[in-house]
Structure 1
Amino acid sequence: MRLLAFGDSFLLGVGDPYHLGWIGRTVLGRTDVTLYNLGVRRETSGDIAARWRREASSRMASHEPLRLVFSFGCNDCVLEDAGLRVGPADTLKNTQMILAEAAALAPTLMVGPPPVVDPLHRARVASVGDALGIVAGQLGVPYIDVFTALRQAETWEAEAAAGDGAHPGADAYQQMADLVMSHPAWRAFTSDDRSVQAH
């Protein structure tokens, strides 16, 4: 199985001394999975919309099942030059376009954005995350909310605060990976059941 993951610095695992992030930890020990971590720092939904299809095309193979994972949103909510980097309406438009195209290509799943330390930024991320879940649901794409659990997690908060205010360390990334792996949608999504692969 080829697992292509597109997103931002949280997907990439910035702050993790082992450079696994949460996505790397979800497939540890799975020799049946080839992971392509295609996270890029500071990228917004618009950046990912502009590149994901091109980058996916060079990593697909007809003889192997394909899965597509997306995880973004925090950077859209960053205030820059007295405005948001990406407004909520455009974030939803980008997400709808990304997920609709991806779901037509292969089984697709979205993991919502995690919390950050700054309370105002965090509130914006919470609002965007809720909206992303609605868009995914409308398209029939499984959505895993990690924000709700992680905003109450002392490990995530402490590690992010000790770092740059956003990115945690190894223990917190493991915590996020555990949340994802324990979700029924993830277990079905990464199974080798041919009925799941059919699309």
Structure 2
Amino acid sequence: MRLLAFGDSFVLGQGDPEHLGWVGRALRERAEVTLYNLGVRGETSADVARRWRAETEPRRVAGETAIVFSFGANDCHQEAGAPRVAAAQTLLNARAVLTEAASLGPVLMVGPPPMPDPGVCVRLETLNEHLKTLCGRLQAPFIDVFRPLFADGLWNREAGMLDGAHPGAGGYQRMAELVAAHPAWRSFARSG
């Protein structure tokens, strides 16, 4: 099976000293899965929407490929007093990539993690709920990691000690455990 993971620096695993991030950790016991980690630091949903199809084609094998998307944190950061990508546009981007990707094979959306910055965190919490609702309407599996990561505090503690955004190994491990334990992931990770 081939698994393509598209998103931002959290998909990439920025800050993880083992360079696995949550995706690599969630697949740790799955040697039969070929992972293409296509996370790019600083990318928004608009960036992912522009590039995902072109990067999928050379890696895709019909019936053997699944695609996971996870983005939103960079959309919620502000530039010139406004979010980099308005929430309504993030939802349009998510709808477009999930709908088109579903025509190629199994898709899954993992919601954005929390951030130590309170303003960004509030916007992320709202976006997370909207993404969850959208995925429900599209019948695309959605894994909400925001609430449990925010509640246990490890993610934000590590991020606060590092660069203010990215956790270390412990935060990524916690996110991987949440994702790997979710029934949607277990079904998805076997489906490609």
Aligned equivalents of 2:134, 2:157: Cα separation in 1: 31
Alignment-derived partner of residue 8 in structure 1 = 8
Alignment-derived partner of residue 174 in structure 1 = 173
Structure 2: runs of 5+ lacking an equivalent: none
Alignment-derived partner of residue 19 in structure 1 = 19
User: Which AA in structure 2 matches 1:23?
Assistant: V
Query: CA-to-partner distance for each residue in 1:120-141, whole Å, 9 max, x for gaps?
Result: 1100000011101111111110
Could you tell me how far 1:152 is from its partner in structure 2?
1.2
2:52 pairs with 1:52: yes
User: Which AA in structure 2 matches 1:171?
Assistant: G
- How do 1:93-104 residues align onto structure 2 when only pairs under 5 Å count? 93-104=92-103
Identity, in percent, stands at 54
Could you tell me how far 1:154 is from its partner in structure 2?
2.8
Alignment-derived partner of residue 139 in structure 1 = 138
Aligned equivalents of 1:109, 1:59: Cα separation in 2: 17
SS in 2 for 1:49: helix
Could you tell me how far 1:52 is from its partner in structure 2?
0.1
Alignment-derived partner of residue 164 in structure 2 = 165
Could you tell me how far 1:31 is from its partner in structure 2?
1.7
Aligned equivalents of 2:81, 2:118: Cα separation in 1: 17
Could you tell me how far 1:155 is from its partner in structure 2?
1.7
Aligned equivalents of 1:157, 1:16: Cα separation in 2: 14
SS in 2 for 1:164: coil
SS in 2 for 1:151: helix
Alignment-derived partner of residue 121 in structure 1 = 120
Report the TM-score, using the length of structure 2 for normalisation.
0.97
SS in 2 for 1:5: strand
Could you tell me how far 1:7 is from its partner in structure 2?
0.3
2:34 pairs with 1:34: yes
Aligned equivalents of 1:157, 1:2: Cα separation in 2: 31
Report the TM-score, using the length of structure 1 for normalisation.
0.94
Aligned equivalents of 1:154, 1:119: Cα separation in 2: 13
- How do 1:83-94 residues align onto structure 2 when only pairs under 5 Å count? 83-94=82-93
Aligned equivalents of 1:51, 1:154: Cα separation in 2: 33
- How many pairs are equivalent? 192
SS in 1 for 2:114: coil
Which stretches of structure 1, 4 residues or longer, exceed 6 Å deviation after superposition? none
Could you tell me how far 1:164 is from its partner in structure 2?
1.3
Aligned equivalents of 1:109, 1:140: Cα separation in 2: 10
